[in-house]
Structure 1
Amino acid sequence: MSFFVDPYALEAIADGQFSFANSPHPLVTAILILLVPAIVWLLYRRTTRPVSPRWKALLITLRSAVLLLLLLMLLRPVITTWEVNPQETYLAVLIDDSQSMQINDVGNGQSRAEAVQRALFADNGILPPLAERYQLRTFAFNNALNRLDTAEELQASGNLSDPGQALQQLRNQLGGLPLSGVVLISDGADNSGADVLAQAREFAARQVPIFTVGVGQPEIQQDVAITDVAAASTILDNSIFDVQVTLQQQGYEGRQVQLRVLDGETEVLTRNVTLGANGGSSRYELELEPERREPILYELEVETLDGELIAQNNRYQFLVDNSERPPLNILYVEGHPRNEFKFIRRAAEGDESLRLASYLQTGPGRFYRQGINTPLELNDGFPATAEDLYQYQAVVIGDIDPDFLSAEQLTLLQDFVAERGGGLLVSGMLDDAFVDTALADILPVTPVRLSALPGYLQGGVRRGSHATGEMFTPRLTTPGEFSPLLRLGADDSENRNAWSALPQLQGIYVTGRAKPGATVLMEHPSVQFQDQALPVMATQRYGSGRSMAITTASTWRWQMLMPAEDESHERVWRQILRWLAQGAMERVTVNFDKPFYNVGDEVTVSVEVRDERFEPDNNASLWLQRTDPQGEVSDIAMEWDIDEDGVYRSRFLVEDEGVYNTLVDVSSTAAARIDDEKPAAFVVTPSLREYNNAARDDGLLGRIAESSGGRYYDLGEINQLVGDIERSPGAYSQQVEEDLWDRPGFLLLLIALMCADWMARRYRGLS
């Protein structure tokens, strides 16, 4: 039948667009069709010569076919189609020009972009015949829409696919022209987060169908992809820091791959990992130690396996800021000279990122200050005002008597942690007198009065030989094993070996249970209270700050009883002090809205400014100095966000990959406010979003076409577009009837049937 009627006619018949122009009532037509073979059968009941039943059936069939074909031609069969006036309407062709079009997953190892160029621009491509029928407008799109004149302008370099934005910009550009339709050619990736179907419905409302063409494989069979990397954005004093890497793979379940971390051309870490289940994600932890004091751009690389289709998602860049910073200010108050005080001070003095200002009571009414910046610092003892106390980021309290701090100072200390966001550590014994005070409220453990303890726990180290005064090896809890506060080795086994080599501690001060929101990092291996091991080290969040309790005063043994070159004690205490102080709020805080950016992204810089009492400051003047990777410097004024007290913002686009350094200059009219500068850095990296989950999305492309009244095609079916667009209903098309009865095929069929009928009759000797 396709020889006599073109494929579109067959499709039109299937869609119900077929009819008879000269047809009487449908019932009469049906009767005529049935009547023809009936009359022929009656005429062949008697023949001039005897004919076998088989020959009689053949003759009836041939004569009926001739008569039915003549009847069909008399009824005048037609198909109803749509057409536009040539060269009077416009057609827009949108071609995906994003990086995912570089993937070589089309036949014969072609990239998606190469296959599209061949299907459109080659001598037998579809653009020349479309240009004969329409005013053609060709565009390339990624995160924006750009006019396209030649195939060479397609670069497949955009780091974002945004078909919704492309359709919206197309409406803005061609909205006043008679647009017959849109051809959208893409792999279907939409990583913009916008609602592209809403744009498709806008075109449907204007009676402009969108014909979508899918490129690429519907499933990536073999690929290993880095989907996420999480690392601390800033670190102190070359500290070891953790990097969490998430890999997704397909086709390599159980395979081992090599992870490498590079600092420029220098390899700083190599590790072999085993891939998880197909289609799933696996997370791996790495530990790095920076080697220089500046923002460092690391590159993570996962080994490319045989047969892997996409290599671009095997590399990932991340920035860690190891720049020089002012030391963290920590106040340490101690009630009497003891070994713990001496060794804690010694640990802090070896760390340039820490300044430990100590206030030690050496006797009745006698105090000794160390590490002070000015002769007046701590001259009157523990600070009595917020301005004096809030200059510190953390406070460490040793073994102090109840009269060491007044009720007002305890309340101030509570505000220091809860509102200023400072850290508090109580190291050693907490006197009974503090049990019902604000100090006990801040701690992660519940202090218990001596008289409320069971007999076997009363007295403790004060009585000498006692269960709580014996030697013990603290037991790391599961959170403690993985806590950066207690890390002594680069990997788990090294860390466990380092802890097992440390000398035993002696003596623990009994407290109650850890509070519900606390995290116990170390506990006593044998002594319990209320069926729980006594906590040796515990932490918790408190308001905006954090607190810690260490219930022994013998960590000095980790230094005194170890070789002089062993720095385990120093390392633990430096990590503890940094953790306490590092989370404290600063007077000027710079934040970026993303951990990293890609070329073309908009960067939003937010700066929070506070005065000496750490109240939001709305009266500041801020300028942002930005230095791009090429060394070009620009200044940008920052504006106060009227909806957020103390917050100032600035926005700009980034156009180059690499590290951007910023310097925020702050001045304020607030009383006693000093000018301040705050450096920060961010990175613009190569984008991975075009290469992860990069399979052809037939579902999205099909929904775009369906929502607009168009149709979806695979790239191999693209030649059907020329005829389908012309015959599709639209705002600038009209219905026409196309006759089928006068097609040459019908005449040839009629002649063939009549000849067959004549030859059959002659062969049997019939008149």
Structure 2
Amino acid sequence: MEVLGVAAFIKLGLSIQGSWLLLILCLLGAVGVAFYAYRYTIPPVTKSLRRALMALRAAALVLLVLLLFQPILSITRSYFQKPTIAVLVDNSASMTIRDNQHTRAEIVLSLLQHPAFEHLQKFNNLRFFTFADHLYSLKKIHPDSLQFNFEGTDIYSALVEAKQKLLNEYLAGVVLLTDGIYNVGENPLFLAQSYGLPIFIVGIGDPQEKKDVLIARVLTNEVVYAQNKVPVEVVISSYGYDGMKIPLSLKYHNQVVDSKLITLVGNYQEQKVRLTFVPQQEGFQKYVLEIPKLKGEFTTLNNKHSFFVKVLKSKIRVLLLAGAPSADLKFIKRILEDDKDIELTVRTQKKGGGFYERNIEDNWTGKDYEVIFFLGFPRWPVDKITRDFLTKQLLKKNKPVFFLQGPNLNIEELKNFQDALPFTIGTAPGKPREVSLQPTVQGEQFPLIRLQDDFAGSLALWKVLPPVSTFLRNFNPRPESQVLVVMDPKRSKLPNTDSFRKPLILARTLGEHKELALLFYNVWRWDLMMWGVNKTNEALVKFLNRSIRWLTTPEEIKLVKIQTDKLIYRNGEVVHFLGQVYTPDYQPLDNAEVAVTIHTEDRKRITLPFSHVGNGKYQAEYRIAQAGDYRFEGQAFLDGQVIGSDQGRFSAGEFHIEFVSTRMREGLLQKMAQVSGGKYYTPAQIEKMANELHFPPQRLQQTREINLWNKWLVLLLFIGLLVVEWSIRRRKGML
């Protein structure tokens, strides 16, 4: 911690237990006792020796009295602390844009070498940071520490993280050097209003619109099926080319598979275009969207967008068995039917036997299905044909099962299939309860529970989901089942104890066989009621679609598992690797060494060590430097011996998010500075900014308290005084 000068002053204080008046009287009494004891001595001694002995006795008694009153010495030191200024420098790829004669990066580097920052350093502690999609601390800004090649700019998070990192310093303000183009995270203007610190912003770049045509966004499925037409929604934006007609092409292996001629509307208005393609074979496939380079166009880096899809060989056949017509059936059926990759067969029980769909003349029990979905099934007794069919599918062929509880389950009938479920069936249900859900620590990392790519956003989405209905029945997870979601007692208005954190979502994997159970119903609320609070049915749609795909994806049992958090990334994004290592009896192994080697398309090899995070889990990160298809191979070692290995692939699309918007956001930056209490400057005003940034030093006090009464030194001094007095008296033969 740096200070200006030395301590302003030091103040000493003494406090006691009891009354000061009583202490003074006791001290006078102690001195009086010593004086009285040495008025006369036997035998008589010299006057000087008598006074010395009187002083030793008085000192010992005074010290004893002080100890009885438990004195505490306080030392207060006052000093002045320099103010700290956080300097945040935009290190994203948009800083490479050339507005006129210089790139924005060149302007930033020249500003950081300006004497203005030396002037600020004299009176303030400057803390330098660079930021793009994350914040990075630097001891000192050097040209080599700025690459200006990061994809994604999150100004909001950069300001939040800078404040947190300097929590123990006297942070007086923030200097922000940026073009204001944020494309990740929240609007930083909202934060500036409540930031609590002035933000002084130097706007880098030209605020004028540039002539440009760009592919702004692309939306398509990450997982598709061979021989099926796949739509690709493309959003085109342009400025300065109003009325011009240009082709938009979709290519595979440099061959055009679809194209359309579009008429540009300009003024950066978005135009939606739909193209399609039909993948012919399974595997990872790369497609490229292109628009031609136009005369006078500001940049062509945003004229191309590549994406990857994982192609599977056929549709997923799902048999949905419902115990009765219900709102859950209606909404789930609609969502699964809307998924073009799912071939859905529905059978709904009716009282007295049979199914409502009996008029459909097909041999549905003679077909083979990839997922059996129990939706409140069974409610009524199951006929022999259906029971034999399900026994064969679930217990002999080990087909994946998706179980969703209903309000009127026939427990005895369900017990016929409980060996195919991730729970055991206990006592009969009581009354239904409305409960809210909370992912477990284990569930937070599970792919089905990650409803959004952003970890925090996924957890926030679970918190806003409407409550569901469940019975506090004794459905017990099997030992090998994973508890992904439990009741949240606090939000469910139940006693906040572990006994009420009942499991609500279970998953079990046995070899290549998988099971999933939702021990609640009324999931239709996650659709209909979400629209009523200005949200969408995104959570229910994603959960159902991902659940079906997870159930049908075989999972090999390995001692070492290494996977990425996603399959497809954008250029510049961070890939999060997660490793899991087990002993031969499948217990988590915590002392292994794990590393992964990444192979790029241009035959480069990057080796990353993993860090241990506990419970047999390891993690590593890799920032994608270029678009392309990547493969990785990982190994785990124990005492120099290979335990096991794993491999996989991921892809990065050719898309530069930093060039979707190219003009400097001057209006946004001016408002941010204004509402935070700071000021906006142009690069030419950097010296003016340095002269106007004045923050007074902060006066701080540090107080130290010393308990004098329980110190060994004080006790030794007391004993020493008595010993010296006794020694003198003995030598003189005094009584």
Which TM-score applies when normalising by structure 2?
Answer: 0.43
Task: Please identify which structure carries the higher strand content.
Answer: 2
- From the CA coordinates, give the structure whose radius of gyration is larger: 1
